[in-house]
Structure 1
Amino acid sequence: MRSFNGEYGRRRVKDCPATKWPTPDRAPTPERGSAVVEFVFLAVLLMVPVAYLILTVGALQGGAYAVVGAADQAARVYVLQGDEGTALQAARQAADIAVTDMGFDPAKSTLTITCDGGCLTPGATVTAQVRLRVDLPLVTGIPGVDLQAATVESVATQKVGRFK
């Protein structure tokens, strides 16, 4: 039986034509090892604004949900009250609770109630409009900085019941 030592029928590595190609230690370009630095730099440069954009869009969407709920509840609560003084107070309280539930400051929201004719007469239409100022995320804790992303608003209408 014949033994195989690995050298039978093979050429030596130094005689192989593949060794004449450039190797990594003899690369023709002077850039070596800078790919990681470039990747980190570009990742930070691109990812930080994208992440901040996502946070801002999330805050705006939360503000939109807050004003829709606040306007709907304010109009609904207003038409259920007995007199206009308590109706306005109850509507303001309902709007504040709805805005607070979504994580916003109720001091940055405004409520406007409009009616056609007498506000609490049967069959009258009551319209509640809520506006909310949405601040930019992550800059609200900096003193003296007051930047807003947008103002969102919503309108809801309710009819006063006929048999009130």
Structure 2
Amino acid sequence: MVPLVYFIITVGQIQGGSFAVVGAADQAAKVYVAQPDPASGRAAAEQAVLLALADYGHPAGNASIDTSCQPADCMAAGSAVTVTVHLTVPLPFVPFSEALHLNASQLSASATQMVGRFK
């Protein structure tokens, strides 16, 4: 019975993590394109990711953010900004999992937003 309960809790943590990375990537891409320059866009995207992950109970240390632009000028009208969020979901109820690198899953999600013509 205990292994079944642990399995259900672990699957719930992974599902919550997948919701977190999808929401974080989506919000980060939206706030990035709303900023006036790439530096403030990156800062706003990082804040959006941290907030979205915190809503699901995941610490910032378990996540990383990648941003890419096509073409290279991120703030040019019509540019596509893609934000990818990576999250490591640890095994639940294992107090020393960081030392042993015991992870339940590695999750990632991407979202793309177009920079508007009229900004």
- Shorter-normalised TM-score: what interval? over 0.9
1:146 deviates by 3.3
Structure 2, unaligned runs of 5 or more: none
User: Does 2:91 match 1:136?
Assistant: yes
Any idea what SS the aligned residue of 1:65 has?
A: helix
The one-letter code of the counterpart of 2:28 is A
1:8-64 deviation line (CA, Å, top 9, x unaligned): xxxxxxxxxxxxxxxxxxxxxxxxxxxxxxxxxxxxxxx111111101100000100
Runs of 4+ in 1 over 4 A off after TM superposition: none
Aligned position for 1:26:
none
Q: TM-score, normalised by structure 1?
A: 0.69
1:142 deviates by 3.2
The one-letter code of the counterpart of 1:157 is T
Q: Which has the larger radius of gyration?
A: 1
Equivalenced residue count is 117
Any idea what SS the aligned residue of 1:129 has?
A: strand
Q: TM-score, normalised by structure 2?
A: 0.94
Of residues 102, 123, 139 in structure 1, which corresponds to 2:78? 123
Structure holding more strand per residue: 2
Any idea what SS the aligned residue of 1:82 has?
A: coil
User: Does 2:100 match 1:112?
Assistant: no
Aligned position for 1:59:
13
The one-letter code of the counterpart of 1:86 is S
User: Does 2:27 match 1:73?
Assistant: yes
